[in-house]
Amino acid sequence: MKHIFKKGSNPSKPTLLLLHGTGGTEQDLLPLAEIIDKDANVLSVRGNVLENGMPRFFRRLAEGVFDEEDLIFRTAELNDFLDEAAEKYEFDRHNIVAIGYSNGANIAANLMFHYQDALKAAILHHPMVPRRGIDLPDLSGKQVFIAAGTNDPICPAQESEDLHSLLESAGANVTLHWEGHGHQLTMTEVKAAAAWYNN
Ligand code: MLT
């Protein structure tokens, strides 16, 4: 997968996995890594799917309606890529913290839905429930921060509530942060994510 890797100054820190929103690239979330943890490794990946020229991490049939078969395939592909990248760049495969926005947050959540040890923690900006009606692995010990907008037309508030309870039922420790805005990624929520990460 097309990506950027930047080695951090402190090898005991996690690797921050950056996953952009629809139409984004691996450049987009680099400033967030600086704010969350400037000493950590950064692995920023570009989605392998194109929708009218816009990169995404998996196909959708319509706005908010996911192509489940492709979502499953792309999630496996990303999980395999993380194995390869950990070997190539010599970072700890068990110490990855995802930071995703929108479509990137959705595939990060789906990594947790399918693979118990894919991520140690995740910061999900405006995610949806990636899949419903499946059994989640035991996510005890996993930490998740969800930032959601009360007026988000793309990820209705109920989606954030549902994702929160699904992850908690699987044993994860989840913090849900609300912004009184829509789908945009705000500096306030990034600062709240940084405070959560550094706590
Ligand atoms: C998705 O397709 O993953 C969500 O609808 C959010 C987005 O527009 O990227």
- For residue range 62-110, list pLDDT tens digits in order: 999 999 999 999 999 999 999 999 999 999 999 999 999 999 999 999 9
In this prediction, the residues of the chain whose per-residue pLDDT falls under 50 are none
Q: 152 catalytic, yes or no?
A: yes
92 token code pair: 């700890």
pLDDT at 180: 95
20, 21, 56, 15: which is closest to 36 by C-alpha?
Answer: 15
Radius of gyration of the chain from Cα atoms? Answer: 15
**Domain with 64 in it: what CATH number?**
3.40.50.1820
Closest atom of ligand 1 to CA, residue 154: 5
pLDDT at 168: 98
pLDDT at 91: 98
What is d(CA 84, CA 153) in angstroms, rounded to the nearest whole number? 37
pLDDT at 123: 99
* Contacts by residues 164-168 (CB-CB < 8 Å, ≥ 24 positions apart): 166/129, 166/136, 167/109, 167/112, 167/136, 167/139, 167/142
pLDDT at 128: 97
> Which residue range(s) make up the domain with 155?
3-197
pLDDT at 111: 98
Q: Where does the chain show beta strands of DSSP type E?
A: 3-6, 15-19, 41-45, 49-51, 54-56, 60-62, 65-66, 96-101, 121-125, 143-149, 173-179
Domain count, the chain: 1
Burial of 82 (0-12, 13-18, 19+ CB in 10 A): buried
Closest atom of ligand 1 to CA, residue 103: 3
Residue type, 8: G
pLDDT at 197: 98
Q: Which residues line ligand 1 (CB under 6 A)?
A: 21-22, 60, 63-64, 102-103, 106, 128, 154
Nearest residue (by CA) to ligand 1, atom 7, is 103
